[in-house]
Every structure is written in structure tokens, then in C-alpha cells.
């Protein structure tokens, strides 16, 4: 292969999640994944097991603002199955983050299931940074409901939206 042939062969991946709300843990995975991939699509979906806090449109606006200066990051919302979204973009690599052993069971099952539905789909797992391993959207929601200081865990635009939701 000629060296020039490699130029257009951009490595792309989808980083899906509910990001409700997006945290520095998610952002860290997205940024570090760009050491491996040329472009990523942060794909905002709804997890049926979780009742949404922010609408998808709000999450889309929040995350788009966070990555506004980074042309390698595209932010999109999707409905339905991830495999169908992946097919629509023709991107068959999915990034997921792992925090603890407890994430492993679910992620393992999900990646096997997705690959069964779409054999071209591969999941790519990245370990959390030690700085963020204990951060989850759930914890942030709980702390926010109880007026906790969550400014170390979410970016300023998300913090402002969360504070506005407090009673
Ligand atoms: P989902 O509802 O699809 O699990 P989440 O928004 O909760 O979506 O998480 C999206 C992905 O980001 C998951 O792979 C999750 O394990 C990962 N993730 C969430 N928080 C962190 C964190 N603090 N460090 C690393 N990965 C994380």
C-alpha cells in the first residue's frame, strides 16, 4: 500500500451513552480515545432502565458546547438500537468506558449482544482514569438533589443546568 492511501482511511468510532448528565469521566474517555481514533461520534441515546433527567436535545446542546473547539468530535442523538445507528453512519467501532468490575458484566453482555445483531460491530473498552473511577451520572444526580458540591465532576455549563433543576 502506498503511504498516501492511508490519508483518507480515517479511523472513526462511536462513543454511545446516555450522558445524563455528562461528567468529566465521560469527557476523559472521549479525549483519550482520540489518541487512537481520528474522529469520534458521541452518540446520545436513552437507556430504558434509566428515567431521563435532561431531554436528549438538552444533552446534545450541553455536549456540543463542551466539544465546540474540537473538530474531531461530532455529537449526535439517536433513537432505537445502537447497531442501526452504527449502520446508518457506517461506523462499526464502539467505545465504552470501564470503571469497575461491576461495569464488566453489563458491558460484556452488551458487546456480545450487539455483535450478534451486527457482526461487523466491535467494542473497544477504555479504562477510566483513577481520577474519575468513582464518578457516575447517577451519583451526580443524587448529590445534586441534595445540594452537594458537584463542581469537580461536571463542566460549568452542565453544572449550571443541574443547579437550575434544584428545588
Ligand atoms: P449508559 O446508560 O449507556 O451506560 P452512561 O452515560 O452511563 O451510558 O455511560 C456511557 C459510557 O461511559 C459507559 O461505557 C460507561 O461505563 C462510561 N463511563 C461512565 N462514567 C465513566 C467514568 N467516570 N469513567 C469512565 N467511563 C465512564
Q: What is the CATH number of the domain that holds 160?
A: 3.40.50.620
Given this model, what pLDDT does residue 90 score?
97
35: in domain: yes
116: in domain: yes
Q: Is the CB of 18 under 6 A from ligand 1?
A: yes
Please count the structural domains in the chain: 1
99 is catalytic: yes
51: in domain: yes
Q: Is the CB of 136 under 6 A from ligand 1?
A: yes
Task: Using most ligand atoms within 8 A of CB, pick from 25, 127, 137 the residue to mutate for ligand 1.
Answer: 25
pLDDT digit string (tens) for the chain, length 167 residues:
555 555 567 899 999 999 999 999 999 999 999 999 999 999 999 988 888 999 999 999 999 999 999 999 999 999 999 999 999 999 999 999 999 888 899 999 999 999 999 999 999 999 999 999 999 999 999 999 999 999 999 999 999 999 998 86
1: in domain: no
123 is catalytic: no
74: in domain: yes
130: in domain: yes
Q: How far is the CA of 1 from the centre of ligand 1 (A)?
A: 38
Given this model, what pLDDT does residue 2 score?
55
Given a contact cutoff of 8 angstroms between Cβ atoms, the answer to whether 124 and 95 are in contact is yes
Which residue range is the domain that position 38 belongs to?
Answer: 10-166
137: in domain: yes
Q: Is the CB of 26 under 6 A from ligand 1?
A: yes
- How would DSSP label each residue in 8-52? T---EEEEEE--TT--HHHHHHHHHHTTT-SEEEEEE---TTS--
Given this model, what pLDDT does residue 100 score?
84
pTM of the model: 0.93
Given this model, what pLDDT does residue 20 score?
97
Q: Is the CB of 144 under 6 A from ligand 1?
A: no
5: in domain: no
Amino acid at each position: 500500500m502506498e503511504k498516501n492511501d492511508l490519508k483518507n482511511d480515517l479511523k472513526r468510532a462511536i462513543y454511545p451513552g446516555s450522558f445524563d448528565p455528562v461528567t468529566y469521566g465521560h469527557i476523559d474517555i472521549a479525549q483519550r480515545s482520540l489518541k487512537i481514533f481520528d474522529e469520534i461520534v458521541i452518540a446520545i441515546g436513552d437507556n430504558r432502565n434509566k428515567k431521563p433527567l435532561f431531554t436528549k436535545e438538552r444533552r446534545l446542546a450541553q455536549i456540543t458546547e463542551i466539544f465546540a473547539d474540537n473538530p474531531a468530535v461530532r455529537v449526535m442523538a439517536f433513537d432505537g438500537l445502537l447497531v442501526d445507528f452504527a449502520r446508518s453512519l457506517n461506523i462499526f467501532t464502539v467505545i465504552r468506558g470501564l470503571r469497575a468490575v461491576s461495569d464488566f458484566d453489563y458491558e460484556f453482555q452488551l458487546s456480545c449482544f450487539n455483535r450478534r445483531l451486527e457482526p461487523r460491530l466491535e467494542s473497544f473498552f477504555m479504562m477510566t482514569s483513577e481520577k474519575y473511577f468513582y464518578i457516575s451520572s447517577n451519583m451526580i444526580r443524587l448529590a445534586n438533589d441534595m445540594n452537594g458540591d458537584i463542581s469537580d465532576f461536571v463542566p460549568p455549563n452542565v453544572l449550571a443546568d443541574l443547579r437550575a433543576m434544584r428545588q
